[in-house]
Amino acid sequence: MATKIPDAPKIGMVSLGCPKNLVDSERILTKLRSDGYQMSADYAGADVVLVNTCGFLDSAKEESLEAIGEAMAENGRVIVTGCMGDEADVIRAKFPQVLAVTGAHQYEQVVNAVHDASPPIPNAFVDLVPEGGLKLTPRHYSYLKISEGCNHRCSFCIIPSIRGDLVSRRIDAVLREAEKLVAAGTKELLVISQDTSAYGVDTRHEPRMWKGREVRAHMTDMARELGQLRTADGVAPWVRLHYVYPYPHVDHVIPLMAEGLLTPYLDIPFQHASPSVLKAMKRPANEAKVLDRIRKWRDICPDIAIRSSFVVGFPGETEADFQYLLDWLDEAQLDRVGAFRFEPVEGAAANDLPGAVPEEVKEERYQRIMEKTAAISAAKLQAKVGRVMPVILDEVGEPDEEDGSIGATARSQADAPEIDGNVFLRDVGEGRKAGDMFDVLIEDADDHDLYGVPA
């Protein structure tokens, strides 16, 4: 007589906020899957819904509360975790029926809460977890989180109060996870943390044995080792560094990009350029030296793409400060730029600073910086027309009804997923799939995207 395998409880997940939250969600789901739970794609099919919240800005908190409210209305059995979990009183005041509330990266507490709400059903017959764990991103790219927390005390940020001081993962654990991800099909590793440049500072860059040799817990050493990884067919995956503060040792990773060991891309959170604003933000005011270093980086690796984000309308920001930032951007010629209007966050020291900028002035400055950076981006992308460059394929379209041609969406090495531009392709032919890496001829460009055809 055949054994009937009982139905496993199903878990739904809503993951909000930054890629670090996404990695937390993946770890939680991986653990639950290994405990025998199934995943549900909708509220109706879930026995329990997890909402991984973001609490960085008040607008993000509102979005988190809306997501909790939707989950409560559609399902009713909800567990809340993530950055806003530290405000359990706020959540329970609005939603007293939530099953549990846990804080950021409290994996064990989340899993225990799920076990209490919907106990797992033991099943020895099925292998529940794929190699590399469960993923919320496409199979061909993965986020690799190397640390938690941050030692900075920027006046606009409450991350240290939510996630604590810097805690670096062991270098051998980081490299082992990366190796498994690549073996499972990852073609692009996106290295993330609150401060990637500070990796290993808390452990005094403690070395560990890896592949028969000692490797330090240091950004440069880690980057060099990640550059040695190869996919099953012998191809080097792209390795992209995010949240890199421009410490002096960052200079040492640029030659690795020139050698092809690292993707020529740096995500650096400059936030501003005016010395007075940077001082009020409690950030290093070394904008002139940074310009010199950017020039040197481009001398070493001409194809390096630099992205950053900036805050406009910070308390005390004058028109002269803002014009300083625009002039600095003219000099820096950053490839990718995001901008944010300053928004007070409960608990942030910046809220008490004098010189609040009126909302209409914030909006006017936001529009000006976006216009400035769009023009810089358009010029830099136009210079790529006629070049042949590698791309990674994200999505393949359906054949055209009239001529059967197939289009696709890809990214160049200058484009991180979700936050940068795309390379829109025509006539990719049959047989292409997400994760394929190949060369394309760039035929056209606009403010943010490229257009091309397989070379």
Question: What domain range is 351 assigned to?
Answer: 141-382
| 46 is a domain residue | yes
DSSP string, 305-348: EEEEEEEES-TT--HHHHHHHHHHHHHH--SEEEEEE----TT-
pLDDT at 124: 47
pLDDT at 375: 97
CATH number reported for the structural domain that contains residue 184 in this entry: 3.80.30.20
What's residue 255's pLDDT? 97
pLDDT of 395: 96
Last residue in a domain, options 84, 117, 150: 117
The C-alpha atoms of residue 442 and residue 420 are separated, in whole angstroms, by 17
Show the tokens assigned to 144.
Answer: 């690799």
Residues of the chain under the 70 pLDDT cut: 1-5, 122-133, 284-288
pLDDT given for residue 211 in this prediction: 87
* pLDDT tens by residue, 124-154: 445 555 656 677 888 999 999 999 999 888 8
Residues 392 and 376 in one domain: no
Answer yes or no: do 235 and 376 share one domain.
Answer: yes
Do residues 424 and 344 both lie within one domain?
no
Give the residue from 82, 101, 117 where a domain finishes: 117
Q: What is the pLDDT of residues 335-376, one digit of tens each?
A: 999 999 999 888 889 988 999 999 999 999 999 999 999 999
Backbone angles phi, psi at 395, to 5 degrees: -155, 135
Query: How much is the pLDDT for 107?
Result: 77
* Residue 18, annotated as binding a ligand: yes
Q: Do 80 and 184 fall within a single domain? A: no
Q: Is 207 exposed, middle or buried (0-12, 13-18, 19+ CB in 10 A)?
A: middle
Residue 125 inside a domain? The answer is: no
Q: Looking at the domain assignment, is residue 134 inside a domain?
A: no
Answer yes or no: do 110 and 247 share one domain: no
User: Residues of 329-346 as b/e, b for ≥16 C-beta within 10 angstroms?
Assistant: beebebbbbebbebbebe
| Domain containing residue 63: CATH number | 3.40.50.12160
Q: Are residues 175 and 221 in the same domain?
A: yes
Residue 201 belongs to a domain: yes
Looking only at the bridges linking them, the beta strands covering 167-168 and 48-53 are unpaired
Query: Does 83 belong to an annotated binding site?
Result: yes
* Domain match, 445 and 320 both: no
The answer to whether residue 124 is domain-embedded is no
What are the helix (H) ranges across 95-210? 107-117, 159-163, 171-183
Structural domain contains residue 129: no
We report the CATH number of the domain holding residue 429 as 2.40.50.140
- For residue 255, the tally of other CB atoms under 10 A from its CB is 15
Tell me: do 327 and 414 sit in the same domain.
no
> Which distant-in-sequence residues (6+ apart) come within 8 Å of 375 by Cβ?
447
| pLDDT at 131 (0 to 100) | 58
pLDDT of residue 407: 95
- Which of 349, 382, 415 terminates a domain? The answer is 382
Q: What is the pLDDT of residue 2?
A: 57
Kindly state whether residues 146 and 287 are assigned to the same domain: yes
pLDDT at 57: 83
Residue 96 and residue 48 share a domain: yes
The Cα 382–Cα 111 span in angstroms is 50
Residues 377 and 398 grouped into a single domain = no
Same domain, 154 and 301: yes
* Integer Cα distance of 413 and 172 in angstroms: 27
Residue 301 marked in a binding site: no
Q: What pLDDT is attached to residue 19?
A: 87
Nearest residue to 226 (alpha-carbon basis) of 186, 174, 268:
174
Q: What is the pLDDT of residue 379?
A: 97
- Structural domain total, the chain: 3
Q: Is 310 within a domain?
A: yes
- Domain assignment present for residue 133? The answer is no
